[in-house]
Amino acid sequence: MLKFALSLKFKLKIMAHQHENLSVDDASTSSKSTKVWFITGASRGFGRIWTQAALNRGDKVAATARKLESITDFKEKYRDNVLTLELDVTKPDQVKTAVEQAHAHFGRLDIVVNNAGYSLVGTIEETDPDDVRAMYETNIFGALAVIQAALPLLRKQGSGHLVGVSSNLGHVTLPVIGYYCSSKWAFEAIHESLATEVKPFGIKVTIIEPGAYATEFGSQESLKFAAGLDIYADFKAQFFGNLKSLERGDPNATPEALFKMVDAENPPLRFFLGSHNLPWVRSAYAERLAIWEQWEEVSSSAQGTVK
């Protein structure tokens, strides 16, 4: 068992070293042949923008949304290049049917984009656990349903790219939307494990991590508010006031970067969208490392030795 553990540790170090040495030039080697996409949450925000951009460049898209009428305009404009499907990702049977229908319709699926999700607004104390569970049903279990429905088909193809839309809040957190942040941290961990598990089958995995963008994500349809406690009223008012001054990116500027990533021979596991993410995450990790190092002696003293 010890030999196996050491061997595994050595292999993981090699994988990490190879990943660190992947250059942008390597990643830029691209395949620009027509691709077939499956996109959840295609009715608004990034989902709509990316669906339209993919269709405009000549790709084919299975576009899904909870309300079919919200995406019928795609069918009217792009005809045979698009398949519109009604899909609630919290219904696993419906997910499986939609994924299989899309695959049968186009003959393959090249890129599966898990984009459906919403944010729960409320402090940790005041939020009803049932509301947290409901958000996880969409943000986590909905994404899992799509992944598990798609994997047998992609494995049989011997190819495919699973793209999960996370957030820079998969690395850092903000108050008042802590539960949403937690769903993205879970989302990140699941996809990181997934990437290693499916690599032998020729399947790629990328986590897209957008920063703040001026999409409909902040609309009533994409937010659920917890019943408030008066003790947090002033704190939340200040928080939302600060958010109003936050610089937001133009979501229509994202497709070109998205295409460079999905067309790459070796797409990254993690892919930021926006210019503010890396400085924020770099600072957050530097602070974490500093604290761990400050307490290293005490932490190491707890190791002990098994006799």
Residues marked as catalytic: 166, 180, 184
**Residue 214 to residue 244: CA distance in whole angstroms:** 11
Per DSSP, the three-state class of 222 is: helix
Residue type, 8: L
User: How many residues are given for the chain?
Assistant: 307
Radius of gyration (Cα) for the chain, nearest Å?
21
CB contact at 8 A, 143 and 247: no
Measured between alpha carbons, how far is residue 196 from residues 63, 71, 192 in Å?
Answer: 28, 34, 7
Measured between alpha carbons, how far is residue 236 from residues 116, 136, 239, 271, 301 in Å?
Answer: 26, 23, 5, 30, 41
Give CA 72 to chain center in angstroms: 25
Measured between alpha carbons, how far is residue 175 from residues 136, 213, 262 in Å?
Answer: 18, 19, 33
Instruction: Return the ∠ at Cα 60 (arms to 189 and 158), rounded to 5°.
Output: 55
